[in-house]
């Protein structure tokens, strides 16, 4: 015991002092044990919660089928299975994109999600416009913004033509923060 | 009482006393159900709190029962809902009761909040009761939204899509928030699972905890007395006055003060059961298959106003709607009991409170109505599926008829109604000939603008001519065709003058 301690505390019997010190020690040990255990439980819990961010599923290349499926100077809807799908995803992993083909192998692939609030846009060939059923956003055939509340043109997927197949890089829901 | 009964009676009394000595039921009862309330609080206006609690109880019971059959997996959820609807005995009824119970809960909770606001019950000393109520409001809207996702159909799917798109607008961490909301890269089974966990564990648990706090505070601080105009709340004297009122002219909540609550709750139960039986469960609608083309997507009643506001907000102002307004609302709602802590309680002395309520109800009501009718959405099938009334075709020249056909085939009617039928995104064209003349119509069709796409790349010169000729002919009998552009004449003329005046003026400068 230090002189400081005897000054600040009223004098105790040696027995009581011993008792108190042992309790204090046990309390400190107890807090330490629980803190260690807390970390050992807490960190895995945090890791579990953020799993989808830690094991991030990035966009990947996959085929939309032979280029002959898409006529020149036309717009076609392509349905694909999301490359990250699990069996339990059922129909939700069936996704849509719009493939615009110009002359030859000139392609442009648009995500179906409207840039306003993500609803599925639909192509109207006669008026050459994409229209959104939710809030009336409209886009031109090149994906550019035409009218309504969307803040930008349609999201464009990266694409390439390999061995006669049209391949796109997709698999993540496009949003303004992550426009593919 | 006969002699024979006596031993039995005293035995029963003994048992009761034995139990009482161990559980102290009388004491608990006096502090809860039998707590004293001011006589004036036994009012018809004070029934909404217990009604909200009743709705929540119904939701818990029906929710637990539904979870016995429901499968929270993206591939199975829809099928299990159909199984509930068509196969499981009275599954449709439980689903309907859960759905209508949820709508009733939101409505009754709003009424409760309105009453508490107008009757000044949030003032001293019930600040925390109000604040816990505001948190309960947020939690209840949260449980309503996650509940809508449980009905895993296309509305639910695109509803999550909207949620993800809103999250995607958050600066810096938007992409991470979207990922956490969805539990992965896309809307899939992991998304449904986390909404399920929120809907059946996290949110109900939090609501139960907060309802306990809310009720505990009601018991601790007493139910608000029915306010009288002219009586001021004063922090120094309020507690004593309230104590005296309860002591002098109070009675226990049960049995004296609960009659109106019982009647109101009985009526509410009948309404819920009636809606469940006669209107039935909602959906599930179109399956949650993003490859299915949908013509519309809209949320459940409690969120229609928000859906409508998102459509009507001016271009690029969504951040105000999704981030600024909620922030302001949070500050106002949490701050209310602090900046209006004392003073008058009665609404007749607080005209601003009446104005706030009227404007809120008007705003939410009109937006909900707009959400139900959805006039901003293009009518996706109007061009191919809606007939044109004879008066818009009759006695037209071949060129005009060609234009009428173009108007139909180029899907103009998806956004423009003629004779009231068609889309309502753009203006009705029935009398467009009285508003715009030929040059202006040509400009509008080719260049678009004012929220209309440009058709310049899409129509040949002859097609524009035919279309505009038809549009000019669209005016009621005995009306004059538009002579001048409907844009303010001065601005246009002024602009034109400036351009022509500037050009010659600039040329010498650049040249010299």
pLDDT surpassing 90 at residue A101? yes
Res B420: pLDDT: 85
Three-class secondary structure assignment of B450-467: CCCCCCCCCCCHHHHHHH
Task: Spell out which residues of chain B touch residue A75, defining contact as CB-CB under 8 Å.
Answer: none
Res B508: pLDDT: 37
Residue B106 lies in domain: 35-373
Q: Domain coordinates of chain A in residue numbers?
A: 3-51, 60-170
Among the partner-chain residues B78, B290, B453, the one whose CB lies closest to the CB of A96 is: B290
The secondary structure element, H or E, covering residue A145 is: strand A145-147
Q: Which of A155-159, B4-8, B186-190, B290-294 has the lowest mean pLDDT?
A: B4-8
**Spatial separation of the C-alpha atoms in residues A133 and A148, rounded to whole Å:** 11
User: Is the CB of B460 inside 8 Å of chain A's CB atoms?
Assistant: no
Q: Do B390 and B363 sit in the same domain of this protein?
A: no
How crowded is residue A134: how many other Cβ atoms within 10 Å of its Cβ? 28
**Spatial separation of the C-alpha atoms in residues B289 and A95, rounded to whole Å:** 8
pLDDT confidence band for B511 (50 / 70 / 90) = very low
Quick check: B289 and A178 CB within 8 A? no
Q: Do B107 and B140 sit in the same domain of this protein?
A: yes
Task: Spell out which residues of chain B touch residue A50, defining contact as CB-CB under 8 Å.
Answer: 180
Res A3: pLDDT: 47
Res A156: pLDDT: 95
pLDDT confidence band for B293 (50 / 70 / 90) = confident
Largest CA distance in chain B: 130
pLDDT surpassing 50 at residue B390? yes
Whether the upstream peptide bond of residue A97 has omega within 30° of 0, thus cis, is no
pLDDT in tens, A5-49: 445 556 655 555 556 788 899 999 999 999 999 999 999 999 999
Res B497: pLDDT: 40
Alpha helix ranges (H) inside A50-179: 51-54
Q: Give the mean pLDDT of chain B.
A: 89
For residue B42, CA distances in Å to B111, B252, B260 come to 17, 10, 7
Quick check: A52 and B183 CB within 8 A? yes
Between strands B36-38 and B250-252, the pairing is antiparallel
Residue B3 lies in a domain: no
The answer to whether A113 and A125 have CB atoms below 8 angstroms apart is no
Nearest to B186 by CA among A163, A58, A149, A50: A58
Residues of A numbered 102-131 whose beta carbons fall under 8 angstroms of chain B's beta carbons: which are they?
Answer: 112-113, 116-120, 122, 124, 126-129, 131
For residue B107, CA distances in Å to B56, B259, B358, B364 come to 12, 22, 16, 12
Res B366: pLDDT: 95
Q: Token pair 């005046």 is at which residue?
A: B501
User: Is the CB of A91 inside 8 Å of chain B's CB atoms?
Assistant: yes
Residue B286 lies in a domain: yes
Task: Spell out which residues of chain B touch residue A149, defining contact as CB-CB under 8 Å.
Answer: 310-311, 313, 315, 318
The answer to whether B337 and B123 have CB atoms below 8 angstroms apart is yes
**Spatial separation of the C-alpha atoms in residues B167 and B323, rounded to whole Å:** 10
pLDDT in tens, B40-89: 999 999 999 999 999 999 999 999 999 999 999 999 999 999 999 999 99
Number of structural domains (chain B) is 2
Task: Spell out which residues of chain B touch residue A112, defining contact as CB-CB under 8 Å.
Answer: 290
CATH architecture of the domain covering A60-170: 3-layer Sandwich (2.102)
Three-class DSSP category at B235: coil
Give the tokens for residue B244: 């005296």
Q: Token pair 């039928």 is at which residue?
A: B421
First to last CA, chain A: 67
Sheet holding A138-140, edge to edge: A122-124, A129-131, A138-140, A145-147
Tally C-beta pairs within 8 A across A and B: 200
**Spatial separation of the C-alpha atoms in residues B114 and B360, rounded to whole Å:** 10
What pTM did the predictor assign? 0.86
Mean pLDDT of the region B106-129 = 96
Residue B159 lies in a domain: yes
Q: Do B98 and B194 sit in the same domain of this protein?
A: yes
Greater confidence (B398 vs B497) lies with B398
Whether the upstream peptide bond of residue B125 has omega within 30° of 0, thus cis, is yes
The answer to whether B465 and B445 have CB atoms below 8 angstroms apart is no
Quick check: A147 and B451 CB within 8 A? yes
Q: Do B362 and B397 sit in the same domain of this protein?
A: no
What single-letter DSSP state applies at residue A2? -
Task: Spell out which residues of chain B touch residue A145, defining contact as CB-CB under 8 Å.
Answer: none
The answer to whether B239 and B23 have CB atoms below 8 angstroms apart is no
pLDDT surpassing 60 at residue A136? yes
Residue B338 lies in a domain: yes
Give the CATH number for residue B456. Answer: 1.10.760.10
**Spatial separation of the C-alpha atoms in residues B119 and B348, rounded to whole Å:** 10
Q: Do B329 and B413 sit in the same domain of this protein?
A: no
Q: Do B237 and B178 sit in the same domain of this protein?
A: yes
pLDDT surpassing 50 at residue B492? no
The secondary structure element, H or E, covering residue B348 is: none
pLDDT surpassing 90 at residue B147? yes
Q: Give the mean pLDDT of chain A.
A: 88
pLDDT surpassing 60 at residue B207? yes
How crowded is residue B127: how many other Cβ atoms within 10 Å of its Cβ? 17
Res B133: pLDDT: 97
C-alpha angle A117/A156/A69, rounded to 5°? Answer: 115
Residue B161 lies in a domain: yes
Angle between helices B174-182 and B154-167 (to 10 degrees): 150
Name the CA dihedral angle for B134, B135, B137, B143, rounded to a multiple of 10 degrees.
180
pLDDT confidence band for B263 (50 / 70 / 90) = very high
Residues of B numbered 461-490 whose beta carbons fall under 8 angstroms of chain A's beta carbons: which are they?
Answer: none
Q: Token pair 């678009």 is at which residue?
A: B448
Greater confidence (B1 vs B17) lies with B17
Nearest to B453 by CA among A149, A90, A147: A147
What phi, psi does A79 have (nearest 5°)?
Answer: -105, 130
Q: Do B81 and B206 sit in the same domain of this protein?
A: yes
**Spatial separation of the C-alpha atoms in residues B410 and A143, rounded to whole Å:** 18
Q: Do B398 and B340 sit in the same domain of this protein?
A: no
Nearest to B186 by CA among A159, A40, A86, A152: A86
Q: Token pair 């009733």 is at which residue?
A: B104
First to last CA, chain B: 125
**Spatial separation of the C-alpha atoms in residues B199 and B187, rounded to whole Å:** 17
Residue B2 lies in a domain: no
Q: Token pair 């002579």 is at which residue?
A: B483
pLDDT surpassing 80 at residue B507? no
Q: How many helices (H) and strands (E) does chain B have?
A: 21, 4
How crowded is residue B223: how many other Cβ atoms within 10 Å of its Cβ? 24
List Cβ neighbours of B503 (8 Å cut-off, separation of 6 or more): none
pLDDT confidence band for B491 (50 / 70 / 90) = very low
The secondary structure element, H or E, covering residue A149 is: none
pLDDT confidence band for B284 (50 / 70 / 90) = very high
Give the CATH number for residue B130. Answer: 1.20.810.10
**Spatial separation of the C-alpha atoms in residues B507 and B392, rounded to whole Å:** 51
Q: Do B105 and B206 sit in the same domain of this protein?
A: yes
Nearest to A128 by CA among A144, A138, A140: A140
Q: Do B120 and B220 sit in the same domain of this protein?
A: yes
The answer to whether B282 and B151 have CB atoms below 8 angstroms apart is yes
Distance of CA B502 to the CA centre of its chain: 53
pLDDT surpassing 70 at residue B169? yes
The nearest CA of chain A is from the CA of B257 a distance in Å of: 47
**Spatial separation of the C-alpha atoms in residues A40 and A146, rounded to whole Å:** 54
pLDDT surpassing 90 at residue B483? no
Q: How many helices (H) and strands (E) does chain A have?
A: 3, 10
**Spatial separation of the C-alpha atoms in residues A130 and A122, rounded to whole Å:** 5
Give the tokens for residue B504: 């010659």
Half-sphere exposure of B25 (CA within 13 A, CB side): 5
Angle between helices B351-373 and B301-312 (to 10 degrees): 80
Give the tokens for residue B16: 């009761």
User: DSSP readout, B20-60?
Assistant: HHHH-HHHHHHHTTT-EEEGGG-SGGG-HHHHHHHHHHHHH
Residue B362 lies in a domain: yes
Q: Token pair 């629980």 is at which residue?
A: A34
Res B103: pLDDT: 96
Give the tokens for residue B287: 């399956």
Residue B16 lies in a domain: no
For residue A8, CA distances in Å to A4, A5, A23, A102 come to 6, 5, 19, 88
Res B9: pLDDT: 92
Q: Do B61 and B206 sit in the same domain of this protein?
A: yes
Quick check: B186 and A176 CB within 8 A? no
Q: Do B44 and B92 sit in the same domain of this protein?
A: yes
User: Is the CB of B67 inside 8 Å of chain A's CB atoms?
Assistant: no
pLDDT surpassing 60 at residue A1? no
User: DSSP readout, B411-435?
Assistant: TGGGT--BTTBS--SS---TTGGGT
pLDDT surpassing 50 at residue B506? no
Q: Token pair 């009754």 is at which residue?
A: B108
């Amino acid at each position: 015991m230090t002189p400081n301690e005897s000054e600040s505390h009223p004098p105790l019997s040696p027995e009581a002092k011993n008792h108190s010190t042992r309790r204090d020690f046990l309390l400190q040990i107890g807090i330490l044990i629980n803190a260690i255990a807390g970390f050992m439980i807490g960190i895995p819990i945090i890791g579990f919660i953020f799993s989808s961010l830690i094991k991030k599923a990035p966009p990947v290349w996959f085929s939309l089928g032979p280029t002959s499926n898409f006529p020149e100077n036309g717009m076609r809807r392509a349905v694909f299975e999301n490359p990250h799908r699990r069996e339990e995803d059922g129909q939700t992993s069936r996704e849509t994109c719009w493939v615009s083909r110009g002359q030859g192998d000139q392609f442009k692939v648009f995500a179906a999600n409207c840039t306003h609030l993500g609803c599925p846009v639909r192509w109207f060939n006669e008026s050459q416009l994409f229209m959104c059923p939710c809030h009336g956003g409209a886009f031109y055939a090149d994906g550019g913004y035409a009218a309504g509340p969307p803040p930008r043109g349609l999201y464009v997927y990266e694409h390439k033509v390999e061995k006669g197949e049209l391949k796109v890089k997709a698999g993540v829901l496009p949003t303004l923060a992550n426009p593919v | 009482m006969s002699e024979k009964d006596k031993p039995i009676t005293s035995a029963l009394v003994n048992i009761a006393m034995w139990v009482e000595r161990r559980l102290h039921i009388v004491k608990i009862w006096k502090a809860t159900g039998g707590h004293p309330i001011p006589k004036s609080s036994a009012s018809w206006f004070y029934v909404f709190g217990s009604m909200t609690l009743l709705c929540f109880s119904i939701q818990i019971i029906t929710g637990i029962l539904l979870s016995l059959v429901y499968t929270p997996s993206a591939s199975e959820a829809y099928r299990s809902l159909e199984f509930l609807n068509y196969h499981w005995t009275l599954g449709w009824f439980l689903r309907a009761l859960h759905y209508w119970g949820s709508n009733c809960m939101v409505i009754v909770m709003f009424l409760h909040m309105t009453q508490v606001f107008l009757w000044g019950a949030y003032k001293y000393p019930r600040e925390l009761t109000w604040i816990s109520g505001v948190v309960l409001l947020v939690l209840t809207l949260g449980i309503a939204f996650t509940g809508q996702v449980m009905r895993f159909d296309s509305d639910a799917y695109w509803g999550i899509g909207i949620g993800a798109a809103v999250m995607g607008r958050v600066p810096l961490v938007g992409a991470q928030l979207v990922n956490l909301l969805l539990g992965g890269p896309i809307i899939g089974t992991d998304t449904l699972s986390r909404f399920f966990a929120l809907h059946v564990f996290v949110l109900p648990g939090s609501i139960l905890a907060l309802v306990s706090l809310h009720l505990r505070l009601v018991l601790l601080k007493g139910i608000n007395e029915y306010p009288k105009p002219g009586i001021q709340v004063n922090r120094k004297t309020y507690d004593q006055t309230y104590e005296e009122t309860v002591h002098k002219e109070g009675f226990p909540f049960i049995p004296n003060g609960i009659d109106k609550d019982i009647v109101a709750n009985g009526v509410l139960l009948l309404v819920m059961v009636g809606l469940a039986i006669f209107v039935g469960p909602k959906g599930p609608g179109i399956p949650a298959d993003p490859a299915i083309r949908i013509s519309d997507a809209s949320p459940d009643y409690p969120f229609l106003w928000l859906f409508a506001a998102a459509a009507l907000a001016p271009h690029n102002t969504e951040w105000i709607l999704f981030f600024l307004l909620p922030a302001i609302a949070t500050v106002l709602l949490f701050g209310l009991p602090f900046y209006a802590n004392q003073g008058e309680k009665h609404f007749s002395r607080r005209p601003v409170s009446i104005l706030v309520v009227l404007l809120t109800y008007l705003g939410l009501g009109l937006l909900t109505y707009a959400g139900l009718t959805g006039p901003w959405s293009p009518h996706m099938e109007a061009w191919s599926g809606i007939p044109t009334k004879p008066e818009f075709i009759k006695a037209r020249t071949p060129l005009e008829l060609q234009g009428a056909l173009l108007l139909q085939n180029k899907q103009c009617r998806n956004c423009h109604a003629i004779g009231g039928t068609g889309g309502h995104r753009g203006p009705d064209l029935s009398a467009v000939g009285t508003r715009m003349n030929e040059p202006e119509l040509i400009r509008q069709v080719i260049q678009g603008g004012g929220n209309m796409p440009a058709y310049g790349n899409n129509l040949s010169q002859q097609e524009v001519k035919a279309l505009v000729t038809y549009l000019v002919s669209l005016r009621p009998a005995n009306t004059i065709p538009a002579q001048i552009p409907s844009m303010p004449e001065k601005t246009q003329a002024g602009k034109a003058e400036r351009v022509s005046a500037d050009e010659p003026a600039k040329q010498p400068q650049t040249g010299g």
